């Protein structure tokens, strides 16, 4: 599943564009949440829009904080927004959505021996072939895993985003 970030605001909030977020308080689930925190903050920075970031406990905490008016807006994902209870989700409006990016990857340290890496990769890719594997994947809300190569993430590298730029904005 490809990743998209979004910024939500209150359904009746007067905020209509990203520029309207200037000097506002925004909630994010975690400094390292790529689509829900890093992508939205990178877009605000790219546009030169100053804001105050607050990191909260989870995606749900972002949405609840925005719905209750604690924050003007917040970062999230379409999937986590869809999973919200309708009474909270109906209090929110999507202000901005990023383009789609490749999903998270499993990476192996270069010291991992070739045969071990091949066995682990085969086991992960084959999870959906057994009932036990499908059960494990379902618990993670994964449909399956597929092999990838390093260049699949070149589109992310081209963004030239430094995650450290966003972990320092907490006040």
Instruction: Give the pLDDT confidence of 44-81 residue by residue, as tens digits.
Output: 999 999 999 999 999 999 999 999 999 999 999 999 99
Alpha-carbon gap, residue 14 to 109, rounded angstroms: 48
Out of 8-12, 21-25, 116-120, least confident range? 116-120
Q: How confident is the model at residue 152 (pLDDT cuts 50, 70, 90)?
A: confident
Tokens representing 171 are 């006040």
Would you say residue 165 has pLDDT above 70?
no
Q: What is the model's pLDDT at position 78?
A: 95
- Alpha-carbon torsion (121, 144, 98, 73), positive or negative: negative
Over range 90-98, report the average pLDDT.
97
Give the DSSP H or E segment for 52.
strand 51-55
pTM above 0.85, yes or no: no
d(C-alpha 26, C-alpha 54), whole Å: 6
Cα torsion through 102, 81, 13, 24, rounded to 10? -50
User: Please, where are the H alpha helices in 15-130?
Assistant: 39-46, 59-67, 78-82, 86-89, 114-125
Instruction: Judge whether 41 and 53 are in contact, CB under 8 Å.
Output: yes
Q: What is the dihedral of CA 106, 29, 32, 19, to 10 degrees?
A: 120
Spatial strand order of the sheet with 92-97 comes to 51-55, 24-28, 73-76, 6-10, 92-97
Q: Are 6 and 99 in contact (CB under 8 A)?
A: no
Say yes or no to pLDDT of 162 above 70. yes
């Amino acid at each position: 599943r490809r990743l998209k970030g979004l910024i939500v605001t209150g359904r009746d909030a007067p905020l209509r564009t990203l520029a309207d977020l200037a000097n506002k308080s925004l909630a994010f689930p975690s400094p390292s949440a790529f689509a829900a925190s890093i992508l939205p903050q990178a877009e605000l920075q790219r546009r030169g829009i100053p804001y105050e970031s607050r990191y909260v406990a989870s995606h749900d905490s972002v949405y609840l904080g925005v719905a209750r008016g604690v924050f003007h807006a917040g970062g999230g994902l379409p999937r986590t927004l869809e999973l919200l209870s309708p009474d909270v989700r109906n209090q929110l409006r999507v202000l901005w959505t990023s383009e789609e990016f490749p999903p998270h990857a499993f990476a192996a340290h270069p010291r991992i021996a070739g045969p071990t890496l091949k066995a682990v990769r085969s086991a992960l890719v084959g999870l959906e072939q057994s009932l036990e594997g499908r059960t494990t994947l379902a618990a993670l809300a994964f449909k399956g895993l597929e092999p990838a190569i390093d260049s699949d993430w070149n589109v992310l590298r081209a963004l030239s985003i430094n995650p450290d730029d966003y972990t320092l904005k907490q006040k």
